Amino acid sequence: PAGAEPEAIPLVVLYEDDGLIVIDKPAGMVVHPAPGAESGTLVNALLHHCGPSLAGIGGAERPGIVHRIDKDTSGVLVVAKTDRVHQGLAAQFAAHSVERRYSALVWGRPDPGEARLAGLPGVGFEPGGVIRIDAPLGRHRADRKKMAVRRDGGGRRAVTRLRVEEGFGPGGTGAALLACWLETGRTHQIRVHAAHVGHPLIGDPVYGAGRRRPGWALEGLLAAVLDAL
């Protein structure tokens, strides 16, 4: 396959030196070219911003890329500009010495004291109101575009920790802002684990479809969130 081509796509650069660059990736941007997204990706933008020297770092298909986030997720990505830095960053991610934290807005408010949660496979609790989800993820057996919790040997270990930062709506239970941090990094991990515990991400058309919603209008919920933030 042909390598990615440089494209003049604006980037929000949080930090840059001779060895690495830190990008604030917007929602809607794919990290690297793939079938159905051959252009307009972060890699295309990086090749234009950093120049041809980036092309050979870590492989032609994903130059400089050490970790990824989903297309529809916004967040910080660290990209290597030299082989030495690429190897060093990859080793840190492999050793889990780098901590990745995310914020997620979900329907309902997860409660560590709820008996329903305690009875779900793979769900446990840690001090400080932390909910730990240890549930393997793999391709959905009926829809290969989706991921799912798999306990039939078809998944890879996935561990997510989450904690409620703030509640919204009646009694603070209509929705919640969660702090999430990952022990592993699987495709759609937070989205699938949040749905697994019955609190899908608001606006998620894949894993939130068909779920029961609190009796509260989405417009009112978003207004309350914006007022609080």
Residues recognised as catalytic: 70
CA distance 62 to 137: 23
Residue closest to 40 by CA, chosen among 65, 64, 83, 10: 10
Q: How far separated are the first and last CA of the chain, in Å rounded?
A: 45
DSSP assignments along 144-183, one per residue? TTSEEE--SS-SB--EEEEEEEEEESGGG-SEEEEEEEES
Distances (CA, A) of 202 to 46, 61, 131, 205, 229: 31, 33, 19, 9, 16
CA atoms of 148 and 143, how far apart (whole Å): 10
H/E element holding 50?
Answer: helix 42-50
Report which DSSP code applies to 185.
-
The residues, ordered by sequence, that sit 6+ positions from 191 with a Cβ below 8 Å of its Cβ are 70, 200, 201, 204, 206, 207
